[in-house]
Structure 1
Amino acid sequence: MLELLPRLRRFAIGLAGHPADGDDLCQMTIERALTRKDQFQQGTRLDSWMYRIMRNIWIDESRARSRRSETFVDEEAGFAVGADGAQEASIALNDIDRAMQRLPDEQREAVLLVMVEGYSYKEAAAIVDCPVGTLNSRLVRGRDALMKILEAEA
């Protein structure tokens, strides 16, 4: 499990969008894996099992965050009242991480697993629990969208 930490952290940051949130996601993944180690099936890949745990936690956390955002407004939102906001909207995205965050979740997952983590289409499809063709479609759409975002911002 220790050998997987750098890869897990990189994937977590890619999903979460921020290093601190990624570290929290990575920690939750390790904690869950350790408390549920009896659910790991011998003879299967530990990395795929860990990625699936991380993905499930991330989905759960995203849903919870979405529900909270429908109820509460971030305290920073009050600082923007009356502010123009045009400057923030016009800042060019020249950072791949920022462009990645603009991709839909499924596409970002596919790009991260295949292009960043180096998993085969079959392995990545198993991690996200979808057919290989679906993963391939998400990857192609994600890669194309990423290129358009980066070209438009250049």
Structure 2
Amino acid sequence: MLLQVEPMIPALRRYARALLRDTSAADDLVQDCLERVITYWNSRRNNDDTRSWVFAILHNLAMTALRKYAGTQGMHVAIDDVAESQMVARATQEDALHYRDLMSALDALPAEQRSVLLLVSVEDMSYADVARVLDIPIGTVMSRLSRAREKLLRITAAGVPAAAPMSVLRRVK
């Protein structure tokens, strides 16, 4: 079991961080996922693809966490809990702006499209694997992916940050 699951941990962390946008919460989520994998390892079907099965567990835990924290504000983090390297080393301003715009564009996507896009593009999963992870038909995977790519292209081609609506100036007499 360990030989099959351990190489997946970096990909699990990457996917969790992309979904939750919080390193600490993502690491906790991966830990919960790995606990469930160990607990239910013997109860899985032998014909299940291990990678799809593990990612399905992570995805379901992430969706539960997102629903649970949907209305809450940002988390309070004690300064002692933040690594010094995170406070000292910063990306260049231009990189930070590109990153912010990309994350805003991803946030503008519906959760269903974002999940499919991340699993296919970032985690390099096949459409069939994504369909198993999300428990949806493969045609739905393809249509959601197509819509997500189109929307990202529209957002990024416009050159306007996705989360910042354009304000219109007008003169008041």
Does TM, scored on the shorter chain, surpass 0.5? yes
Cα pair 1:94 1:153 within 8 Å, conserved: no
User: Which has more helix, going by share of residues?
Assistant: 1
Amino acid at match of 2:141: L
For residue 7 of structure 1, the aligned residue among 6, 11, 15 is 11
Deviation at 1:73, TM superposition (A): 6.0
For residue 101 of structure 1, the aligned residue among 83, 107, 113 is 107
- Bigger radius of gyration, 1 or 2? 2
Residue 26 (str. 1) matches residue 30 (str. 2): yes
Name the counterpart of 1:39.
43
Give me the TM-score of the superposition, normalised by structure 2.
Answer: 0.69
Give me the TM-score of the superposition, normalised by structure 1.
Answer: 0.77
CA distance in 2 between partners of 1:94 and 1:152 (Å): 14
Deviation at 1:107, TM superposition (A): 0.5
For residue 52 of structure 2, the aligned residue among 48, 51, 63 is 48
CA distance in 2 between partners of 1:75 and 1:94 (Å): 24
Which deviations, in whole Å up to 9, do the C-alpha atoms of 1:16-42 show, x marking residues without a partner?
Answer: 123222222211111121122222222
Residue 134 (str. 1) matches residue 119 (str. 2): no
**Considering only aligned residues, what root-mean-square deviation do their CA atoms show, in Å?**
2.2
CA distance in 2 between partners of 1:102 and 1:23 (Å): 24
Aligned residues: 135
Percent identity reads 34
Unaligned runs of 5+ in 1: 77-91
